[in-house]
Structures are given as C-alpha cells and as structure tokens.
Homo-oligomer: A and B are copies of this chain.
Amino acid sequence: MKAKVHVTLKSGVLDPQGKAVGHALESLGFSGVNDVRQGKYIELDLNETDADKARAAVEDMCRQLLANTVIENYSVEIAEG
C-alpha cells in the first residue's frame, strides 16, 4: 500500500525558500508570480494492507518525524497498490 504525504508550512510562517524561488523566477523573466510556497512531498511504500491502519500509522509518522507540527501542516493520502 502506498501513502503520499504533503508537508507544508502553516500560513503565517515565513518561507525563505519559497521567496528565493519566487525571486529566481522573476529574474528568469516570469512575471505575474505573486507567491511561492515550498513544501515536502513524501511517498511511502508500506507492507500494511488495511487502508485505515495504514493511514493511522502514517499520521503517527508525520507527528513523530515527518512534520514539525509547530510550524507545519501535513496531509496523508492512501493509495492502493
């Protein structure tokens, strides 16, 4: 079973990496970019075959390791296969 995790900065938290990407895009000639926010995308391949248990395990992983819940949000998507 595959799990897809998005970890994004909470709104209001400064994102210097995103700002740097925004400035780089501007200097490459891309206008009309108001804001850039950069997050992490993690794909996990799990042995677990029960979708609910897989989701619970991955949410646990997010809280313990993958996301810093003080400044980051996470979302978990479980996919078959």
Spell out A's residues near B (CB within 8 Å). 6-8, 18, 21, 24-25, 28, 30-48, 57, 60-61, 64-66
CA distance A61 to B47 in the complex (A): 37
Copy count, this protein chain = 2
Bound Cα distance from A53 to B12, whole angstroms: 29
- The answer to whether B46 and A34 touch across the interface, beta carbons within 8 angstroms, is yes
Chain B residues contacting A64 (CB-CB under 8 Å) are: 28
Interface centre among A40, A41, A64 (most CB of B within 10 A): A41
How far is it, in angstroms, between the C-alpha of A41 and the C-alpha of B33 when the chains are bound? 16
- The chain B residue with its CB closest to the CB of A39 is B41
Q: In the bound complex, what is the Cα–Cα distance between A66 and B39 (angstroms)?
A: 13
